[in-house]
Amino acid sequence: MEVQSWRLIKAPSGELHLGTLRAPQPGRAVVRLTSALAAFDMAASAVTTASGRRYVLMGPPESRSLECMAIRNGAAQLGLAAGIDISAQFWAQMHEASGGCDCNSRG
């Protein structure tokens, strides 16, 4: 599944979860939170959850403040109120691992 709008949340347990914003429309959007992430394919900018679902990150983490707030609040409502947003650090590591190629950049 291709993901455009995302943030990475680290749970107090250490597990990582992908928070996504789907179908953003004026006044309405759906926030989803994945099961724990189990694998990372840095070269393909992809993550795989413990349940086996693969997400391809089509660009850097969401940076628009309203959308970021929606993802973080959605994650809190879904049980990760004490989670830490590590999106920027993760993206930097992924970018470094891919040799600096921003291959899936939103442009």
Among residues 34, 70, 80, the alpha carbon closest in space to that of 55 is found at 34
Q: Domain span at residue 85?
A: 2-97
Q: Is the pLDDT of residue 26 over 90?
A: no
Q: Is the pLDDT of residue 14 over 60?
A: yes
Tell me which of 56 and 93 has the higher pLDDT: 56
DSSP-based helix, strand, coil % in the chain, nearest 5: 25, 35, 40
Residue 103 domain-assigned (yes or no): no
Residue 102 domain-assigned (yes or no): no
- The total number of structural domains in the chain stands at 1
Tell me which of 41 and 104 has the higher pLDDT: 41
pLDDT (tens digit per residue) in 1-10: 999 999 999 9
Q: Is the pLDDT of residue 71 over 70?
A: yes
**Cβ atoms of 78 and 11 closer than 8 Å:** no
